[in-house]
Amino acid sequence: MKFYKYHALGNDYLVLNPADFPAQATSACKLLDGPAGNDRTPSKWGSAPPSEAEVRLLCHRHYGLGSDGILWGPVETLDNVADAVGDRAKQDNAAQPRPNGRPRMLRIYNPDGSEAEKSGNGLRIFARYLAEHGLVQGDTFTLQTVGGLARVEIIDRAAWRLCIGMGRATFASAEIPVAGPSRDVLGESLDLGRDRHFSFCAASVGNPHCVVPLPEISEELARRYGPEIETHPLFPNRINVQFMQVIDRANIRIEIWERGAGYTLASGTSSSAAAAVAHRLGLVDSQVTVHMPGGTLEINIAPDWEITLTGTVTKVSEGQLSPDLFSFLDRV
């Protein structure tokens, strides 16, 4: 039961390859019976991803390995994904031309057990894993998640600097989604009660984002209001949140609250969405450096709103999961 751990600017993920989890290798795991809906055991991991409870345990900073999510792949199919995620993915993929070569597919799980459509940092991490293990040929290939296709280019293998095609940014309410009439969601007011309001914009780069432009931002601001915005009724699928400060026409700062993960040091999709919003508002040019507590990412915005993201990946560790780990399944 092999695992690999990487981080991208402090945003850390576990890579679990289904090929390393044959049923016979995990049948000895001693699991406690979970609640209805979470009864998938590691003995089934050879053909299906871990359950929500197992994801929560693996990502737990005390009872598990600790991470901001799990990358499960490569997989042969993305069928049977969660309805709220899968319907949008089918529309996106049908609209995109297939690049040459078969995409390598993966599924992305948040630490609360929910499935994510896309992660820019996760895609870079998974791309490095595939390249290091000889699972792709060359320095240019394609990945696919339930959020769509992503082109990968490895720029520098020594520094593990990679460029990812994040897809096309959209501000359309139906695509994000945001409740209410069909519109581009720009400069709207978000009421959190207690006389607290934020002006916000919303965007999708394969997953949903709420961008709150402010003169000054802080970690405390993200931790205080991020959870309320994530679960606001205006966002039926919940939403990722960025508090954004524009430094100049080539630089922005963001503080991030990720849907299903909480406060996060860095995020590729958050950087992409925030840069796209700032560009749409006329505040920055098409080349933007996004500064986050974990580091910086370079974002390029094409005239058709196609986004490319460039950044590095660091390997942390690899090892074997102990069967004893799963005896704490009821603690998370």
**Same domain for 227 and 148:** no
| Closest of 284, 287, 327 to residue 307, by C-alpha | 287
Q: Which residue has the higher pLDDT, 82 or 330?
A: 330
The answer to whether residue 36 scores a pLDDT higher than 50 is no
In a domain, 82, yes or no: yes
Residues 59 and 83 both lie in one domain: yes
Question: How many C-beta atoms lie closer than 10 Å to residue 34's C-beta?
Answer: 16
In a domain, 225, yes or no: yes
- Whether 269 has a binding-site annotation, put simply, is yes
- DSSP category for residue 183: -
CA-based angle 35:119:245, to the nearest 5?
115
Report which secondary-structure segment, H or E, holds 131.
helix 120-132
159 and 36 co-located in one domain: yes
In angstroms, the CA 183 to CA 175 distance is: 10
- Is 54 annotated as belonging to a binding site? no
For residue 83, the model assigns a pLDDT of 45
Examine the pLDDT at 208 and tell me if it is beyond 60. Answer: yes
300 assigned ligand-binding residue: no
Residue 38 assigned to a binding site: no
Give the span between the Cα atoms of 253 and 85, in whole angstroms: 29
| Residue 324 CB partners (closer than 8 Å, separation 6+) | 30
Beta bridge pairs of residue 156 = 161
> What is the per-residue pLDDT for 23?
60
- The sign of the dihedral angle between the CA atoms of 60, 77, 318, 329 is positive
Q: State which amino acid sits at residue 96.
A: Q
Residue 224 annotated in ligand binding:
no
Backbone phi, then psi, for 172, in 5-degree steps? -75, 130
pLDDT of residue 94: 40
Tokens 């990487």 found at = 6
Q: What is the pLDDT, as a whole number, of residue 46?
A: 61
Per-residue pLDDT reduced to its tens digit, 38-81: 443 444 566 678 999 999 999 999 999 999 999 999 999 887 55
Whether 89 is covered by a domain: the verdict is yes
Residues 127 and 256 in one domain: no
Find the range with the poorest average confidence among 13-27, 45-59, 213-227, 250-264. Answer: 13-27
- To the question of pTM greater than 0.75 for the whole model, the response is yes
Q: Print the domain residue range for 236.
A: 188-304
CATH number at residue 260: 3.10.310.10
Q: Are strands 104-109 and 115-116 parallel, antiparallel or unpaired?
A: antiparallel
**12 and 157 co-located in one domain:** yes
Q: Which residue has the tokens 């402010």?
A: 214
Question: Does 240 show up as a binding residue in the annotation?
Answer: yes
Residues 321 and 258 in one domain: no
Please tell me whether residue 64 adopts helix, strand or coil conformation: coil
201 lies in a domain?
yes
Same domain, 327 and 294: no
* Closest CA relative to residue 223, chosen from 269, 268, 256: 256
Least confident of 79-88, 206-215, 262-271, 313-322: 79-88
Q: Residue 207, annotated ligand binder?
A: yes
Q: CA-to-CA distance for 68 and 315, rounded, in angstroms? A: 15
> Over the stretch 126-179, which tens digit does the pLDDT of each residue have?
999 999 999 999 999 999 999 999 999 999 999 999 999 999 999 999 999 999
For residues 261-283, average pLDDT: 98
Does the annotation place 145 within a ligand binding site?
no
* 101 confidence band (pLDDT: 50, 70, 90): confident
Whether residue 121 is annotated as binding a ligand: the answer is yes
Q: Are residues 230 and 85 in the same domain?
A: no
Residue pair 258/267 in contact by the 8 Å Cβ criterion: yes
Written as six digits, the tokens of 266 are: 């860095």
For 32-50, give the DSSP string.
Answer: PPPPTT----GGGTTTSPP
* pLDDT computed for residue 326 by the predictor: 87
pLDDT at 242 exceeding the cut of 80? yes
Residue 153 among known ligand-binding residues:
no
Flag whether 67 is in a domain.
yes
Residues 86 and 111 in one domain: yes
DSSP state of 194: T
Q: Is 236 helix (H, G, I), strand (E, B) or coil?
A: coil
Rounded Cα distance, 248 and 119, in Å: 26
What rounded mean pLDDT belongs to the chain?
A: 89
- Provide the domain count of the chain: 2
Phi/psi at 233 (nearest 5 deg)?
-60, -20
Same domain, 70 and 18: yes
The Cα–Cα gap between 119 and 267 comes to: 7
